[in-house]
Amino acid sequence: MIELRQVSKRFLDHVVLDKVDFRVDDGETVALLGPSGVGKSVLLKHIIGLIRPDSGTVTVDEQNVALLGRKEIAALRSTIGYVFQNGALFDSMDVRENIRLGVTNDEQFNDVAYCEARVTECLRLVNLQPEVAKKFPGELSGGMRKRVGIARAIAGKPKYLLYDEPTSGLDPVNSDVIDQLIERLQNELGVTSVVVTHDVRGSFRVADRIALLWQAKIRAVGTPEEIVQSQDPAVQQFLERDLEMTIIQNESTDGS
């Protein structure tokens, strides 16, 4: 289980997270919605310990992430697959080596036959041909990069998968492919997932629960049905896919 309790984070004068509570139970997929720049990725990076909270606690499998030592955090991270927004593939390595680095068990990592089989298997899971393994990231399209990023994230058979804007920058067809992929991985691997996105349609498709992050706080949490029925103007505005969130901005201007 992943749990954030009263987590606050600020960068200089900018408060990004303000006493945020957020929970993901084992086996479920939670989509974290919110406008660009609201702090969704920052929240995701707290879960894996890439960013430490100013206050509050982040626990994964009942371990306080901020208090873990070097080896403990490495061990925890090996149970979490993180899909970066732009793939974050190592551009000096080919796809095979990129995915192989995702094999987090040292014994398996040094077993060439295992790694070869695992690379092929992960490419199959993300609907890519084995020949792609020889290519370098610079030779891949945006959609393929995202899929290779997912393949690397699942190579270590993680318990948790964190997706950071998996469909941003993709055309609708490729976005659908990625959404299908997330659903499929969820069904085939049974992982617990957090999907950070501003794609409302995609989030309704893949998520068991949806949370809306707005103005440094979780504004609403619920099943897709509960979110649809929410009377909160911010939620309604977001569902209408108006990413400008004009109502919210007017609301905050009136309030100030």
Partner 1 sequence: MAELTLDLRRVVGRWSLRTVGHAGRFAYFVADLARGLADWRVWMPRTIEQAILVGYGSLFIVLLIAGFAGAVTSLQTAYQFSGNFPKYLAGGVITESVILELGPVLTGLILAGRIGARFAAELGTMRVTEQIDALESLGRSPVTHLLLPRCLAGIIVIPALVMFANATGFGVGWLAAKTTLGISNGDFIYGARFFFQSFDLWYSAIKAVCFAGAVTVIPCYIGFNTQQGAEGVGRATTDAVVAASVTILMLDVVLSELLLPGVGQ
CB of 34 to partner 1, least distance (A): 19
What token pair was written down for 175? 């976005």
Query: Hey, what are 204's tokens?
Result: 């309704």
User: Is the CB of 178 or the CB of 218 nearer to partner 1?
Assistant: 178
Q: Closest approach of Cβ 223 to partner 1, in Å?
A: 29
The alpha carbon dihedral of 65, 37, 84, 125 has a sign of positive
Structure tokens, 39: 């702090």
Query: Minimum CB separation from partner 1 for residue 4, in Å?
Result: 18
Nearer CB in complex with partner 1: 92/231: 92
The angle at the Cα of 243, spanning 56 to 6, to the nearest 5 degrees, equals 10
Please identify, using beta-carbon distances, which residue of 6 and 141 lies nearer to partner 1: 141
Residue 82 C-beta: closest distance to partner 1, Å = 4
Residue 253 CB, nearest approach to partner 1 (Å): 29
Q: Between 68 and 221, whose beta carbon lies closer to partner 1?
A: 68
CB 145 within 8 A of CB 84: no
Distance CA 256, CA 198 (A): 26
Token pair 């720049």 is at which residue? 37
The answer to whether residues 30 and 24 touch, using CB atoms and an 8 Å cutoff, is: yes
Tokens read off for 90: 């190592």
Q: Can you give the binding site for partner 1, defined by CB under 8 A?
A: 45, 48, 50, 70, 73-78, 80, 82, 84-86, 88-91, 101-102, 104, 152, 156
Residue 152 or 219: which CB sits closer to partner 1?
152
